[in-house]
Amino acid sequence: MSEVKNRNQFLIPLLVVMSLMFIWNLSRNINDVLIPHLKRACQLTDFQSSLVQSAFFGGYFLLALPVGQYIRRFGYRAGMITGLLMAAVGAFLFFPAAETRFYPLFLAALFIMAAGFTFLEVTATPYLSILGDPEKASSRLSLAAAVGSIGATIGPYVGAVFLLHATDTSEATVQQFSPGQLADYLNAEAQLVKIPYLSLGALFVVLGAMLFFIKMPDIQEEGEENIRLKTIFKYTHTVLGALGVFCYLGAEVGIVSFLIRYAKSLEINELGEQKAALFITLFMALVLVGRLAGAYFLQKVNPSKMLAACALGAMGLVALAMFSTGYLSILSLSVVGLFTSVMYPILFTLSIKNLGAYTKTGSSLIIMSIVGGAIVPPLMGLISDIHSIRFAFVLPVLCYAYILYYAQKGHIIK
């Protein structure tokens, strides 16, 4: 890889990529509010409602590697434009989904949106990592992730405003509805998704059109044309790092997916769904704070040591939430966001270190492991349906335990 000497020429590309990170993180984190909304509108179990995340993050798993091949052939800018237009198609599908209240169509729309975001993420993360000093890649990715975290923080609030109500309609009240009243109520709930998702679809189209006219330098890794996919598996630190990202995303998505459901189970007076969604906003706001701080501290602190400290902190807070009640319990889960904030940029940069010509393929494998967000939440939903929502949080504890292992031993290049 040739060293980038003139940083100024990459200012606009960096700003463009960071802006896209803001948009897709905002869109992705509306899902955390969409879960309880569709649970009500489509009358779903905890397991069924968690399939929102399975459809979304399953798109990353199925498409990350093919997208990496696409980007290698057509370049970074083509990948970004394709991703935006594909995400727009998915967002527009929320209109027929709302009209029919057909849950599989909602899931299909989310899958297509995720396919678009896969293009953006497979493109953006390695692009940022190579536009500058390789030793400062973790810091640069943390700063970009902080920009994305602003969108992630706003997303749940936007979702709560459009999809949730200041005062919940109790389950007892719903059960007293006549068949006609119930149908009207559920249809009205489903209609609420139209405004936010059609607006997002229009925004994606506009951004895709703008990007067509912006000059984006393409950076090629030396020997890139000779790579073979299977060769990436000889890099143990990359494979173990991909599993680390699986655990990181699975734990984080699982926590925020069931945070509203968990808050309601605590039976705190006057804590309805809309107010409970504020704890997701707090979670994401703390992710933002942590990433802003990480952009500075990762230039001075050993990344693997910071990753180990963050994993220990996250494990302790989830355990505290499981064994406490009231606001202490729900606040403990929210503060986990501070400790997860720098996990992804550290895991990513440790995993692709010294890959050279295999950088894009390695990053595709890592992003493919975002499927953790599709698998852990349904497992938590099953545990919740069978046992209790509180006991379901043992899964995030196990995920953070693995990340602790990777920070201590798994990241070492052999």
Per-residue pLDDT tens digits for 120-143: 887 877 777 666 666 666 666 767
Q: Give Cβ neighbours of residue 202 (< 8 Å, ≥ 6 apart).
A: 88
Both tokens assigned to 182: 């119930």
Could you tell me the CA-to-CA distances from 272 to 34, 173, 189, 225, 336 in Å, in that order?
15, 15, 16, 55, 22
Is the CA virtual torsion 50, 24, 353, 224 positive or negative? positive
Per-residue pLDDT tens digits for 15-65: 778 888 888 888 888 988 898 889 888 989 999 999 998 998 888 788 877
Please check whether residue 311 is in contact with residue 206, taking contact to mean a CB–CB distance below 8 angstroms. no
> Which residue ranges form the domains of the chain, and what is each CATH number?
1-215 (1.20.1250.20), 229-413 (1.20.1250.20)
Per-residue pLDDT tens digits for 199-234: 999 999 998 888 888 776 666 555 444 455 567 788
Q: Is the pLDDT score of 76 beyond 90?
A: no
Q: Give Cβ neighbours of residue 394 (< 8 Å, ≥ 6 apart).
A: 322, 383
| Range in 68-82, 94-108, 317-331 with the lowest mean pLDDT | 68-82
Q: Is the pLDDT score of 97 beyond 50?
A: yes
Q: Give Cβ neighbours of residue 38 (< 8 Å, ≥ 6 apart).
A: 44, 49, 52, 103, 106
Please check whether residue 384 is in contact with residue 392, taking contact to mean a CB–CB distance below 8 angstroms. yes
What's the whole-model pTM score? 0.80
Q: How far is Cα 391 from Cα 253, in angstroms, rounded to an integer? A: 16
166-177 average pLDDT score: 76
Mean pLDDT of the chain: 85
Other Cβ atoms less than 10 A from the Cβ of 158: the count is 19
Please give the full DSSP string across 364-402, using - where no structure is assigned.
HHHHHGGGHHHHHHHHHHHHHHHT-TTGGGHHHHHHHHH
Residue 262 banded pLDDT, cuts 50, 70, 90? very high
**Helix or strand holding residue 85 (H, E):** helix 76-92
Q: Is 28 exposed, middle or buried (0-12, 13-18, 19+ CB in 10 A)?
A: buried
**pLDDT given for residue 220 in this prediction:** 57
**pLDDT given for residue 135 in this prediction:** 63
Q: How far is Cα 284 from Cα 327, in angstroms, rounded to an integer? A: 18
